[in-house]
Structure 1
Amino acid sequence: MTRIYVGPGSLVGLGTVGETTLLKTFDGEIVIPEIAASEVSTEPAKTNMEILVADGGATREAIETDHAERAMGILGISEPVVESRLLESVLAAMDDDQAADTGDDEPVVGLVTDDRRLRTVAEGLGATVTGTFGVVVRAASEDKYLKTTQAKRIVRRIDSHGLHLTGELRAQAIGDL
């Protein structure tokens, strides 16, 4: 089963507007690393993240693998941070997949983050990557109960609560819906 790791920016973006449950539309296990959860300190994002976990929509886990040094090296840092822990999860999943070599076409690991650099690196390693607005677009395309007009309202609400899009990105996000 695919494990999908969620970064703090996406948790804050979705949680601020009460839409963390949109993460449930992914086919896989939603994992919130403890280091990411600790950075979600604003309300109502923190409470909405905790509700998602309490309802079984996600699990919270500490990320400790043998890939910490490699992840920090790739990112050019000397101490673990959220981004390196997320990348560490991707590296560990990719190594596990290569060791198992099942030949399955299902994605091994997913990553939900708005950090552009981390997204680029993770995609280069073979992870399936999306951001906050990608979660909304996916939910609109996968969930027959979430209408396109509702998804557009969610994008606008997220945009108005601090995750400001450039005009081009907003048009693309709404256009994708």
Structure 2
Amino acid sequence: MTGILLDATTLISLGLIGELELLTNFSGELIVLPAVESEVDTEPARTNLQAFIETHAIKDKDLEYEHQVPRALSVLEESDRNGDVEVIAAVLAYRAEDRQIGVISDDRRVRTTADAFGATVTGTIGVVVRGVKAGISKDDGLDIVERIDARGLHMTGELREKAESLIQETAEDI
């Protein structure tokens, strides 16, 4: 089964507006690593994440990626272990076993690094688009983008236009 690593950026953006359920539209095992979970310290995102983890089969501490942490620290040029390091270490561990892995993050450095190591990468907007593909209405998708922009991920005009365009196109293709 494909693992899907969830990064704090997306968990905070969706958690602030109570839309973590959108993550269940992905086929694969959702994974919240311990360091990532600890980075979600903004309310109500933290409380919403705890409830999400309790009500879904979210994998966390059972992954074997510890041996890849030194390499992830080096690749990211980090001196301290954090959520970004753990995400990249887990990507490295999955890919070393030739297993498929996805990363959902809005952090450019995490996305670029994960992609370079062979992970499939998307961000919060990709989660909303996937939600529209799974059956939420175009209007609900656009509303979610508006709420994310207002409460969490502050979008450039270009990103907001791209998000709206992707949602409209997806809704038309259904």
Paired position in structure 1 for 2:157: 167
CA distance in 2, matches of 1:62, 1:117: 25
1:156 deviates by: 0.5
CA distance in 2, matches of 1:132, 1:17: 12
TM-score by length of 1: 0.89
Paired position in structure 2 for 1:58: 58
Paired position in structure 1 for 2:28: 28
Give the secondary-structure state (helix, strand or coil) at the position aligned to 2:43: coil
Paired position in structure 2 for 1:139: 131
CA distance in 1, matches of 2:36, 2:112: 19
Paired position in structure 2 for 1:3: 3
Amino acid at match of 1:69: P
Among 146, 152, 157, which residue is 2:147 paired with?
A: 157
Query: What does the per-residue CA deviation read over 1:38-96, in whole Å, with 9 as the maximum and x for residues that have no partner?
Result: 11112211111111111125233276421111111111122212111100000000001
Deviates more, 1:149-158 or 1:50-59: 50-59
Paired position in structure 2 for 1:105: none
Amino acid at match of 1:167: G
Report the count of equivalent residues: 166
CA distance in 2, matches of 1:128, 1:61: 22
TM-score by length of 2: 0.91
Give the secondary-structure state (helix, strand or coil) at the position aligned to 2:67: coil
Runs of 4+ in 1 over 4 A off after TM superposition: none
Among 101, 105, 119, which residue is 1:109 paired with?
A: 101
Paired position in structure 1 for 2:122: 130
8 Å CA contact 1:34–1:62 kept in 2: the answer is no
Q: Map 1:24-103; keep pairs closer than 5 Å.
A: 24-61=24-61, 64-97=65-98
RMSD: 1.4
More helix, by proportion: 2
Identity of aligned residues (%): 39
CA distance in 1, matches of 2:16, 2:60: 19
CA distance in 1, matches of 2:46, 2:60: 13
8 Å CA contact 1:21–1:57 kept in 2: the answer is no
8 Å CA contact 2:12–2:152 kept in 1: the answer is no
Q: 5+ unaligned residues in a row in structure 2: which ranges?
A: 168-174
1:176 is the counterpart of 2:147: no
CA distance in 1, matches of 2:113, 2:17: 29
Amino acid at match of 1:87: I
1:119 is the counterpart of 2:91: no
CA distance in 2, matches of 1:12, 1:162: 7
Amino acid at match of 2:84: E
Amino acid at match of 2:4: I
Change (3 A) 1:57 1:19: farther
CA distance in 2, matches of 1:118, 1:48: 23
